[in-house]
Structures are given as C-alpha cells and as structure tokens.
Structure 1
C-alpha cells in the first residue's frame, strides 16, 4: 500500500471515529449544560487541569516512542507495558492524596472526594498508553476509533443519567473514569499484552532518548496550555472559569473536526520516511494548505456567529462565554496548523526541535496568561493568548522551514495567500450583513448558509477547489 493510500485509510477510520465522538460530545454537552450550572462545570474544570497533567505524566513520552521505534519486539513492548503499570499505580495513589493540597489552594473541601475517584481514572489512563499506541503502531486505526466511539457513547449516557439523578459534578467524573476503564480492557485484550511483576529496564533505555524529549515537551506544553485555568480558578470565581473554559473548549472543536482526524495518522505513516525531509515537507505544506483554506474562513464565521453558537449549544445561562469565544475564534486557523507540527517533528525524529518549540511556546503563553490574569478580565486573557498563539505560529514554522527543511517563510506563506483572500471575502460579506431578527437557531442557519455559499464561491474563484479535490482523490 503506497503512502497516499495509507493516509486515506488512516484518515477514513480516524474521521469516522472523531466525527462520531464530536457528535456524541456535542449532544451530551448540550444536555448537561442545561442540567448542570456554570459553577458545577467550574469545579470540574479545576480538577480536570490536574487530571490532564497526570495523564501526561503517565504517558511519559512512551506512546509516540513506541510508534516511532520500529525495531521494538513484542516482548520488549510488554516490558514497557509492565513499567507503565507500576507508574500508573504510583500516579493514581499520588492523585488521590493530591485532593488535600488542591482543596487548600482553592479553599474548597469538595476536591478531596473528587480526587479519590479520579485517582482510579488516572490509573486506567496510565495503563492504557501502551496498548493504545501499540494498535496505532500497527496502523490498526479502525479498532482504536471504533472502540473510542463506543466508549464515548457509553460515557455520555452514564453522565446524563447521573446528572438527572442529581449527582452534580460527579456525573462528569464517574463517567470519565468508567470510560478510561472500558478503553483499557478492550485495548488490552486486543493487543494480548501480559501483566507481570518482573521489570526489565533495557527496553525503556531503548526509547529513552526519544521519549525524554517528548515528555519534557509535553510537560512544558501542559503548563503553557493550562496555567490560565489554574490561575482563573484561583483568582476568579468558578463561574468565570466555567465561562472561559467553555469558550476555550469550543474554540478547539474545529481542531477535533479537522486536525485531530489527521494527526493520529501522520506519525505512524510518516515515521517510515524518517530520513526523507523532502517527503515530510511536501506532506506538511499540503496539509497546511488544506487546513489554511478551511481554517481562515472558518475563523471569520465563528467570530461573526459566536453568540448564536453559544446560545444554541449550551443555553442562555452561558452568555458569559460569548466575548471570550469571539476573541479565541480568531486563532482557530492558527491552532489547526500548529496542531499538526508536533507529528511532523516526531516523524523526522526531531523531538529536539519539538522541545525547543515547546520551551518558546511556554514562555509566550505563560507571559500572556499572567498579564491577562492581572487585568482581572477573562476577555483580556483570551486576547493575549491569541497574540501568544500568533507568535508561536511564527517561531514553530521557523524551526520547521529553516532548521528542519532548509527552506524559508516565503515557501510557507505563499500557500496561504489564496486562503487569505477567501477569508477577506467572508469578512466583507458578514460585515455588511444586517442584524438578523430571528431566533438564535434560525440566525445560525442563515449565517451558516451564507458561509457555505461564500466559501464555495471562493474555492472556485481561487482555484483551491481543484487543490482540495486533488488531495482527496490523488493516487
């Protein structure tokens, strides 16, 4: 099977999985946002920041390292799995104990029992790392995505039922824990790994040089991406954190729809071309053109439709999320392209440059967050984050184009010229559109139709329609 066919197969199953999951998530969120209050969501948003951190610790860079190292034998992977089991047990126990300092930091004892439940969740996410990435290494995208869809459906049903029964924020926490357990048991039996007690360090040493850079990058990237929520939860109300978190998560949905379909496929396939920089650059520029064409115009639509989207999806009680979402929407196209850069660095076995990019990203993001928090408004936090994302976009592509591909900005930005023209046409049309007198749902439908018509006309006028068609059907 050639490179393009492998990409098509991988993206096909990834798309089925991701789009199904997004539909499930949106439906569940639409229901839960009407059953739970912003304050209850704020409590979960606080503890989720620490949960993500421990998931990152549990991965330890092991997942991408297993995918990249094609010489690892099944026995060696099993030894790495045993190591991950020990690590997961330790991290699960530590997370259970973490509830006490978290409760002191936020002056709320509720985080103690919540941490006890999520400690189990941390354990299952930790032992899940090796079996899941082993399936991805074998390019078994169908199994990974179909099982994840089933897990999300079950988790969604459980969370809604628990919310109706009055379990408050526990409805989100318990369902997430059960989801992690379900994924582990299915992937574990699919890979036929064996749980043992004897720990062999030789396989760990084999992947250490790759995984250490990946881990440090993930560690830095975590703080640069989550410090805003930690500080907002501390210095603002839990409702303010919920409004901000809801707008931030919503701004990431285009990533889930587009980039997250492509991202899991890039490294498992492109790692076969580790020494072919020309091939990796070709794939990166092609994906950038595709994502830029969609992302730039989509950002404009989201900016002009922010109120209708928030109110339709989550209800009138979430009006506090509208201003920050409108600001964050500008960065959607930037985030789409930035998201795939990690897999490009990994595919070329350049986690050293990935680490440099992560450090620079952390500096700009954390600086923006601290200044934004100091203003006392979540809208300013969002605005300064957009500035930071833009700076990171430039430095990451400098490392890619100049340091890795021995090229320049001109080659990169010229592929975004026509997508920019298409976005400008969207701005003109929406700026001239009068205030619509209908309901939020009807207004959203009207604006959506206008977006599609202008986008389609732009594809034809700029010739980008032919490019997208060639990407889809190219042999």
Structure 2
C-alpha cells in the first residue's frame, strides 16, 4: 500500500470526511425543508422513484471495480486505465438501456408519470461512474482532504441551484438541476485533484482480475441498495406517490446525521482496515473504538429526533407535512437502532469477508422488502415503518454476531460494549418523549418545544455518558492529549 496507516492518519482523514459530510448534509438540513415547502409531495415522490432506479443501475455498472482498485498492493496504471474504460462502457450501456425502457420500468414501479424523468436522469449514470476511478486513487492514497473540498463545493452549488430554481417556479426541474450540477462539478474536481488522465490502454485480463474481488462486493452492495431503496419502491407501488413523497422527505432529513458520520467513517475505514493486513489485534481494537465512538455520536441524534419528531416536522417542513410526523419519528428510530452497525460493513470488506457480507446483505434485503411490503399492503405508511424498525432490531443482532465471530470476540461481550451508548441514548429519548407528551401543552410554540426538548435531552445524555462510559471518554481524552503533545513526524511520500 502506498501510505502508512496509523491512528493519526485515520483520525485526520476521518476528520476531513466528517467535515465534508457535515458541510454537504448541513446544506440538506437547510435546503430539504425549503424545497419541501415549495414543492409538493407528488413532485418529491416522482423524483425519488426515478433516482432510485438511476442509483441502482449506477451501482451495478460500477461492478465494484473501484473498490478492487483500493485494495491493490501497487498502483499499476494498466489496471487503472482498464478499470476506467470498463466503467465507462458499462455506464453508457446502462444509460442507453434505461432511456429505451424508461416507460415499462416506471410503470413497474407504479409511477408511469416518472418515465420522462428516467430518460433525462439516465445521463447521471456515466457522470457518476466516470469519477469512480479517480476517487479510488484518492482513497488508496488516504488523501481524503482533496475529495472533501470538492464534495463541499459540488453540493453547495447544487443546493443553491435547486433553491433558486424552485423559488423561480421550475418545480420538479429544480431537483434535477441540483443532481446534474453537483455531479458535473464533482466529476471535474475528482480528476483535477487526483491527477488522473485516462489513456487508451485496456486489458480484459486485468479487468477480470479485479472482477474476482469486485463481483462479491457488487453482490453485497446490490443487496444493501435493495434494503435501503425497496421501501420507496414498495410505498410508491402500494400507497401512491403522495405517501412516497412523504417517505422521501422524511427519509432524506432523518438520514442527514447518519450520512454525515457514517459516509465519512465508512469511506476511510475500508482502506484503513485493508492496510492493517493480518494484524488482528490492531483491527479488533480499531473496530471496537470506532464502533463505540460512532454510536456515541449518532445514537442521541437519531433517538432524539424520534422523541421530537412532531414539533420537528411542523417547524422544518411546514403544515402541509405535519401529519407525516410519525413517519419521520419511526424512520429516525429505525436508523438509530442500527448505529452500532456503522463500522461492520467496512470491517468485513477490509478483512476480505466478502462472501459472509454478501449472504447477510441478501438476507437483510429480502426480509426488509417483505416486512415493509406486508406493512404497506395490510396497513398504512406508519405500519410499514414499524415493520422496518422490527427488521432493524433483528439486523443489529445478526450483523453483530457475524462481525464478532469473524473478529473472534465473545458475542455477548462485544454486543454489550458496542450497544451500551445506544441504550443510553434510547433512555434519554424516552424521557424527552414523556416530558413532551406530559408538559408539551405548556409550551405552545413548536419551535420552543424543539429547542427545550433538545436542551433537556442533551443534559440527560451527558449525565448518562459520564456515568456509563467513563472508560471510553477517558481513552478518548488520553488520545487527544497524546496527539497534542506528540511532535509531528514527516509523513512518507506517496
């Protein structure tokens, strides 16, 4: 591998990634409520359904070749160029197929009115896949600061374009403008900072060598994609575009904390675990620490949003979305349940457990799709979200068992340590929810309910952390002191 991985380098790169995600998804914190007030649930639902198809095809088109490049021992340019041309050819074929079969695909999803959007958005596939190789080069070099800068620029400009177009009355086209502007700027930025210039070099043998790893990763990524996107398809199919729009808006907002932290952590930890090689003790230590830290950060955000979903929906999205507050709360709850799993996927990828990851991802996809469909067919959107929460409880236990078995750690010990912050956050959320239901009427303003509830929840959670996680907090404090006291050593040249 071309660079040395240690606590300092991982921390620095996670910091850059978190900064990037905080900036980009902080924009969504502002722009999603603004767009939700201007656009209708049907417009949100139509674009969300079309985007689901585009993202799915883009993921298949990549075939995991970029992930395979990251774990290569040497940066062989013949392999890099071959992966680029393979990605480009597959992406163009996918885009053409989506353009031709847009109407039957949209009809199958229960949204025939989205066919014209599918044709337009098919162009996003080569735009997204075109930057995969450049990103893989930055990732294997552990150079996430440059990617972070361009991510923030692309998302900022895209969000501004969306808001301006929506205010100007462009409706659904404002969401399309955001997607295309962000994709174009990020594509140009990745090539600028990676220094990669494609050349007319292609070797089928080289691509096949990468595919032996990437096909397993592709299978698990497809299964994970189905897990995350199947609720949208099921809701659109059985409950209509209005409920799909409500789900999309609530899901986009409730995903912001997860995407800020998890996207950053997972992107860095995968190459970091790969760098650690056969050092199991070091990997195990990194796994537990990263799992605890991400759970401490994420769990109170997600469970807190569940507790304050009613005033949050009214304040952020407006009165036209107020009735959908249980959907926002249940989505936040379902995501909060999975916070300890945040580091499991990059860990299994990094230690080469692709087959295990694939089969568990498939099981999760099947169970999630079936449960949400059962809830939607026999009830409503709320019942579908309750089913999702139940599935995620089972997913937490299942993934924990798989990971701790692969790590050769006793299950109950690992599960207790990794989920302890989550249960503390849930206890905090229950207290806030009780206080809101009991005394909320004395605080008539939804804004004040949100602010007071967040403040009370923060105090309760800090007290619980001081009582339950003294060892973890002490370790983090020690690491910060050592980092500050250490004399910076020159980093090896890439």
Inter-partner Cα distance in structure 1 for 2:253 and 2:154 = 21
After TM superposition, what 4+ stretches of structure 1 lie above 6 angstroms from structure 2? none
1:407 is paired with a residue whose SS is coil
Say if 2:440 is the partner of 1:439.
no
Shift of 1:445: 0.9
Asked if 2 retains the 8 angstrom alpha-carbon contact of 1:277 and 1:348, the reply is no
Shift of 1:257: 2.9
Say if 2:233 is the partner of 1:230.
yes
Asked if 1 retains the 8 angstrom alpha-carbon contact of 2:48 and 2:245, the reply is yes
Shift of 1:114: 1.4
Shift of 1:334: 2.8
1:258 maps to which residue? 261
Q: Pick from 55, 74, 97: which aligns with 2:100?
A: 97
2:444 is paired with a residue whose SS is coil
Shift of 1:198: 5.0
Deviations 1:199-225 (A, max 9, x none): 311221222221010001112222222
Inter-partner Cα distance in structure 2 for 1:425 and 1:440 = 20
**Count of equivalent residues:** 474
Decide which moves more: 250-259 or 339-348.
250-259
Deviations 1:392-439 (A, max 9, x none): 11111111111x112222221231346534642552354245114232
1:405 maps to which residue? 407
1:406 is paired with a residue whose SS is coil
1:469 maps to which residue? 477
Q: Pick from 324, 327, 331: which aligns with 1:321?
A: 324
1:272 maps to which residue? 275
Asked if 1 retains the 8 angstrom alpha-carbon contact of 2:257 and 2:302, the reply is no
Inter-partner Cα distance in structure 1 for 2:333 and 2:124 = 34
For 1:29-108, list aligned pairs within 5 A: 29-105=32-108
Inter-partner Cα distance in structure 1 for 2:361 and 2:481 = 35
1:342 is paired with a residue whose SS is helix
Distance 1:270 1:84, change over 3 A: same
Shift of 1:148: 0.6
1:414 maps to which residue? 416
Asked if 2 retains the 8 angstrom alpha-carbon contact of 1:18 and 1:261, the reply is yes
Distance 1:157 1:293, change over 3 A: closer
For 1:27-426, list aligned pairs within 5 A: 27-105=30-108, 110-402=113-405, 404-415=406-417, 416-417=419-420, 420-421=423-424, 423-426=426-429
Shift of 1:322: 0.8
Shift of 1:336: 2.3
1:454 maps to which residue? 460
Decide which moves more: 384-393 or 172-181.
172-181
Asked if 1 retains the 8 angstrom alpha-carbon contact of 2:299 and 2:421, the reply is no
Structure 1 unmatched runs, 5+: none
Shift of 1:238: 0.9
Inter-partner Cα distance in structure 2 for 1:374 and 1:425 = 34
Inter-partner Cα distance in structure 1 for 2:239 and 2:422 = 39
Say if 2:14 is the partner of 1:6.
no
TM, length-normalised to structure 2: 0.90
Decide which moves more: 427-436 or 7-16.
427-436
Inter-partner Cα distance in structure 1 for 2:347 and 2:429 = 31
Shift of 1:333: 2.9
Inter-partner Cα distance in structure 2 for 1:448 and 1:170 = 35
